[in-house]
Amino acid sequence: MATDLTGRHFLQEADVTADEFRHLVDLAGRLKADRAAGREEPLLCGRTVALVFEKASTRTRCAFEVAAAHQGAATTCLDPAGSHMGRKESVRDTARVLGRMFDAVEFRGADQSVVEELAEHAGVPVYNGLTDDWHPTQMLADVLTMTEHSARPLASVAHAYLGDARNNMGNSTLVTGALLGMDVRIVAPRSLWPREAVVARARDLAATTGARITLTEDVAEGVRGADFVSTDVWVSLGEPADAWAERIALLRPYAVTEEVLRATGNDRVRFLHCLPAFHDLGSAVAREVHEQYGLEYLEVSDEVFESERSVVFDQAENRMHTIKALLVATLAGRPC
């Protein structure tokens, strides 16, 4: 049966079925191949997409803008200074305005409730570009990258996520793995595991899909046999600077190093990171942390980040290809 996602929202991974998620990944792969071969056919001529950003963005904004441009659609970016939403105008009223002018709306910000309210009132597809709870467009890119770097079916792939797992990347990695029937492991201090409601949701999905769910504080146990090891920054966007001391104390044993990759026992293991990454002293934040704590890297060593095992820039590029697939699938465009 053909998969039809026309007009659908994408607010979190569980908004789609496993087959629909795989369809988006497969579509992204086809669109990527078409682009590389010079035969991409624009299907979104005349479409318009509003990009609403409460939180700063590099990959999400660029991915939406470039994907839309490749497919013949136009975008308008609204940052906090460029919109009244939430200050002089309610989310509900903003949603109804945007829905009258645009064919779709993307939101990147803190509260999941905001993107859900936009979806309730806009009358057009709404996409979650990141909230504190979920990061579904990143998961599409991650899974496409896994399919490109492993010949094994997703249900046979083992993915270990190390670090702070209480927020969007931990939640989304766990639920996506469960949705797709994968062997998914959360490797973190117990205090930084996903909320029990998220774990329960993943276990419910796993009961249907056959996924294997592991939460452990033991790094060696968590990464043993893993095909992919991923991590994220230890202090998320918007958190106070004084959170660094607590996170470093908790998470230093969970940094992804060559020793951690060797512990997988898999010489084909690949490293994932949604970026930005604190792997060296190339950023202002990294230099500030180094000055205060004396650390040359945080969640991943430069040795791992720059190694042949690292596929983080394939992963970053795949944000664009998978977001393009999402736009094409939900806006049901017409050829230019």
List the structure tokens of 292: 């205060």
- Concatenated DSSP letters for 185-199? EEES-GGGSPPHHHH
Q: Can 108 be counted among the known catalytic residues?
A: yes
For the question of residue 71 being annotated catalytic, the response is no
Q: Helices in 38-109 by DSSP H: which ranges?
A: 59-70, 91-101
Position 243, amino acid: A
- Distinct helix (H) and strand (E) counts, the chain: 13, 9
Active site residue 232: yes
Nearest Cα to 211, choosing from 223, 199, 221, 220?
199
Give the Cα separation of 266 and 264 in Å (integer): 5
Out of 59, 227, 274, 321, pick the active-site residue: 274
- Of 185, 232, 279, 321, the active-site residue reads 232
Active-site position among 135, 201, 270, 321: 135
Q: SS3 for 221-239, per residue? A: HHHCCCCEEEECCCCCCCC
Q: Known catalytic residue: 166?
A: no
How far, CA to CA in Å, does 225 sit from each of 10, 158, 160, 219? 32, 7, 9, 12
Structure tokens at 213: 């769910």
d(CA 13, CA 137): 9
Sort 212 into a burial class: Cβ within 10 Å, 0-12 / 13-18 / 19+: middle
Contact 15, 136 (CB under 8 A): yes
* DSSP code for 46: T
- Is 138 an active-site residue? yes
Q: Which of 103, 138, 149, 185 is catalytic?
A: 138
Which of 166, 309, 319, 321 is an active site residue?
Answer: 319
Taking alpha carbons only, the member of 298, 221, 307, 322 closest to residue 270 is 307
Burial class (CB in 10 A: 0-12, 13-18, 19+), 106: buried
Active site residues: 108, 135, 138, 232, 274, 319
